[in-house]
Structure 1
Amino acid sequence: MTATNASRPASDESYRATTGAVKKPDIKAQNAKVQSVLSFGVSFGDADSTRTSADAVPTANIAQTMPPMDAAQPVPPEPCRVPPVELEEHCWTPSDDGYYSRTARRKASGTYYSTRPARIAAIGLTIPSDLAADLDEATQQLVAFDSRAAERFSAGGRTLGPLSAVLLRTESTSSSRIENLTVGARRLARESLDGSQGGNAALVVGNVRAMETALEFARNLSEANILAMHSALLGGSDEWKDRAGRYRDQLVWVGVSSAGPRGASHVAPQPDQVPDCMADLVAFIDRDDLPILAQCATAHAQFETIHPFIDGNGRVGRALIHAMLRGKGLTPTMTPPVSAGILHDTERYFDALTAYREGDARPILECFSSAARYAAHTGTELIDTLSAILDDDADRLHGLPLRRNALGWKLLPLVVEQPVVNVPYVARVLGVPAASATRAVGQLQRAGVLVEVSGGKRGRVWEERRVLDALDEYAEMIRRQ
């Protein structure tokens, strides 16, 4: 859980900074290996270097070197090391507002340590050859996934919009599940249609909007646009709308108690540090000399360390991944279900974030490599399933005596994007009167593509059940695995 400070620290703003404890790797063992490394940019820590071709997609460019037997070689930088956070000592006393018992207040009172993130705008990183190869392979699989989706779904003159939208919604659902916000495909589609479900469904729809905003601003990831993502996520919530799109002005922590940060697994930086931390992060994101997947992993881990918002940090942080993948040209068409790969092993993900804060980037790079591979593999399976359903739906519609310009044909691909529909929705998306929309729905109903589930003459609703079932089966597969 992420908690916020309902009370004030008892001390003034003075603090004692200490370096987070980091377990050092065995240097002798590292030196015994062939020194095969990947460097970000032209040289370590060179943030000003650029790619030789503006059109090239940076992946893991591996430079293997074997030191001469008779030459003394300098010890290279430790693999995957990043600057660890510093720890600042503060004192905490919960507010005496009657919400907490005296025992709870006593346990929550005392010294705590908040983080001061290192600046990463110009960092260099050394990646061992085995991990570099893994990242390169995962990168190519994401590229192949995007190309496969475009090829598979655009066959026969289809537009990519509906499939792109359903993949985005699938990714948003998985990202929300990491925060224990679960909702089935049917409730999510109904909430998207008419806002009738509320609860978790409304929160996940907010996440869809945040993801859409992230992709809209993919080529210009400024602080203002990251704030816009947060506003899209929480702006529709009565509880959070006054905080949406604003950096936090109070302490937050990840832990088990809302009474205070003592014992929390992560205490975010003090609120006055957030703007500078975010400016540094945006400068890091803006670099173009880094392998994209490694850059995404590092940026995401840094964002989660900063925790710039009162709520929604995880979901905005994962939307940021897709904005970077899209903006840097890796997945220009589709939204791969990377969060499904993270959801596959959330314990590993949270442990990797902790390791990053301690100065070891390898676990988060490995986590992203695995998540990207999982997203490409299972995302391709989902694409093929949805495309096969649409092919079968088209065969059913061919069985009716319809003209090729009948509205039913225009509606058909849209039921993949929005598998629960009503007449007002169809009229809006097709740009036709209600009577024409009713006729289009009727054509798909006669063909057996849509099934009415409302049972009345007013407020009628139809479903494409096979699409809903496919989406629920995908979510269940992730949960089982």
Structure 2
Amino acid sequence: MANSVDPPSSPHRQESALAPGLASWEGGQADGPAVGWEEHYWDSEPVAAGAMSRRARMSARGPYRAAVPARIANLTITLPPAVAAEAEDALMEIARFDAELTSALPAAGGEGQDEHGELAPLAAVLLRTESTSSSQIEDITAGAKALALATVGERTGPNAAMVAANVTAMQAAVAMSEDLSVDSIRTAHAALMAGQDYAAPGRFRTGAVWIGGMAPTPHTATFVPPHPSWVEAAMNDLIVFCHRTDVPVLAHAAIAHAQFETIHPFADGNGRTGRVLVHAMLRAAGATRAMTVPVSAGLLTDAGSYFDALTAYRDGDLTPIVTQFAHAAFTGVTNGRVLAEQLQGLYATWQQSLHARRDAAAWTVLPMLIRQPAVTVRWVADHARVSQPAAQRAIDQLLTAGVLTPASANRRNRVWIADDVTAALDDFAARTGRRG
């Protein structure tokens, strides 16, 4: 999580006088992504930051160092053969898993596809678990039930609402893969941070940010991303890199993600937006078609190593971040397969329990509950394209079959939930080490 303040007004190095184009960019190293450094003066009085010890106040005075990002548009990618081979194997596993899911469960919505164009509702489930995991890396937790309720408009607390917004942002990755640009990244951020004005949704930051240090100034931070005057040029350079076709796919996505996190272009939500970028790149490269492979869930199993890999990247070493992504892909796919098997078994049990005419709306709703385990009468009517009386009848039949239970005793704005699905999703989270 980054802190933010107004931009320093007196940089020790006069980079703010340079044009924000690549021609004037002097940061970084020619042979790797290592950041350069420049000093900025901190011109706010430490006392303005609140109560501080004398030692902390002295540490918060004077100049501090901020990164200058390397240019990577034409970066030469050199990886140890073993790491390159592991990344290629991981990519093959991602593609294999993606293909498996096209027939894992019956389609919701008719004609072999659901309303979002996915081939099976399980694809949307994995997108949701990936979104939850991506948020959890930044310590934003929400149980599966709370997330499902938030998705249908129930008030379940700010964390669930933030994770629900992350689902929307992950869905934006599909569109981003068709037109990967600075504007599409801003659009994804706007979806992710909607309603959170402090984060300036969809707009690059205008202030300094810093990571770690637990201090109200950047002087003791673990990492201080670039001054905002570098952000636009750095993002344009990143987009050029993202459109290259001469870099192995998983390494390409890992490096792009690490560079995005180094630039830290937004006031908040950079980690989640950067992981949306990963999925957009995997889809654009053809590695995935129907779903979001749970890479973030894999990263979460060893978040400390993930952050260490980002630090190594900023020091000029590509190997750790590519290795982390390869391991995350294997772990995420393994975990995803377990979830898929659980949901397939659950769906088979539902089919045996539901005693309704084959043309009843309940059968249309049944696979939708894998994707969206909390429903209202209005939701069922809208998504199953039936009248509200027919939607209520479908819910009643699913209630009798034990598929749904009331989410609460409140009969007004009644919500029903498929508890077995949320339990399976929480099991998935527990296997990644997440705690809701």
Q: TM-score under structure 2 normalisation?
A: 0.90
**Deviation of the 1:383 alpha carbon:** 1.1
1:12-411 alignment, distance < 5 Å: 14=14, 82-95=32-45, 98-101=48-51, 103=54, 104-154=56-106, 159=113, 160-240=119-199, 243-397=200-354, 400=355, 402-411=356-365
**Deviation of the 1:84 alpha carbon:** 1.3
Distance 2:11 2:227 in 1: 13
**Deviation of the 1:96 alpha carbon:** 6.2
Distance 1:197 1:18 in 2: 48
Distance 1:95 1:208 in 2: 40
Residue identity opposite 2:305 in structure 1: R
Gaps of at least 5 residues in structure 1 are 23-44, 46-80
Structure 1 pair 480/305, CA: closer, same or farther in 2 (3 Å)? closer
SS at match of 1:207: helix
Q: Determine the structure 2 residue equivalent to 1:3.
A: 3
Structure 1 pair 279/7, CA: closer, same or farther in 2 (3 Å)? closer
**Deviation of the 1:105 alpha carbon:** 3.8
Contact kept, 8 Å, 1:86 with 1:116, in 2: the verdict is: yes
Q: Determine the structure 2 residue equivalent to 1:462.
A: 416
Residue identity opposite 1:271 in structure 2: P
Distance 1:3 1:440 in 2: 49
Structure 1 pair 19/286, CA: closer, same or farther in 2 (3 Å)? closer
Contact kept, 8 Å, 1:93 with 1:105, in 2: the verdict is: no
Q: 1:422 aligns with which of 376, 391, 413?
A: 376
Distance 1:13 1:244 in 2: 30
Distance 1:354 1:457 in 2: 52
Structure 1 pair 162/291, CA: closer, same or farther in 2 (3 Å)? same
SS at match of 2:338: helix
Structure with max Cα Rg: 1
Residue identity opposite 1:393 in structure 2: W
Instruction: State the number of aligned residues.
Output: 418
**Deviation of the 1:246 alpha carbon:** 0.4
Structure 1 pair 287/271, CA: closer, same or farther in 2 (3 Å)? same
Distance 1:278 1:18 in 2: 15
Residue identity opposite 1:85 in structure 2: V
Q: Over residues 162-203 of structure 1, what are the superposed CA-to-partner deviations in whole Å (9 max), with x where a residue is unaligned?
A: 212111110010011100001100000000111411311111
1:440 aligns with 2:394: yes
Q: TM-score under structure 1 normalisation?
A: 0.82
Q: Determine the structure 2 residue equivalent to 1:56.
A: none
**Deviation of the 1:290 alpha carbon:** 1.4
- RMSD value, Cα: 2.4
Distance 1:295 1:278 in 2: 16
SS at match of 1:127: coil
Structure 1 pair 267/99, CA: closer, same or farther in 2 (3 Å)? closer
Distance 2:389 2:198 in 1: 39
Distance 1:445 1:127 in 2: 55
Gaps of at least 5 residues in structure 2 are 17-24, 114-118
**Deviation of the 1:136 alpha carbon:** 1.3
Residue identity opposite 1:196 in structure 2: R
Distance 1:407 1:393 in 2: 15
SS at match of 1:280: helix
Contact kept, 8 Å, 1:6 with 1:259, in 2: the verdict is: no
Q: Determine the structure 2 residue equivalent to 1:30.
A: none
Q: Determine the structure 2 residue equivalent to 1:29.
A: none
Distance 1:158 1:392 in 2: 22
**Deviation of the 1:292 alpha carbon:** 0.5
Residue identity opposite 1:465 in structure 2: D
Between the aligned residues of both structures, percent identity stands at 42
Q: Which of the pair is proportionally richer in helix?
A: 2
Contact kept, 8 Å, 2:79 with 2:318, in 1: the verdict is: no
Distance 2:146 2:364 in 1: 24
Contact kept, 8 Å, 1:419 with 1:467, in 2: the verdict is: yes
**Deviation of the 1:288 alpha carbon:** 1.3
Residue identity opposite 2:431 in structure 1: M
Distance 2:260 2:434 in 1: 29
Structure 1 pair 478/145, CA: closer, same or farther in 2 (3 Å)? same
Structure 1 pair 333/267, CA: closer, same or farther in 2 (3 Å)? same
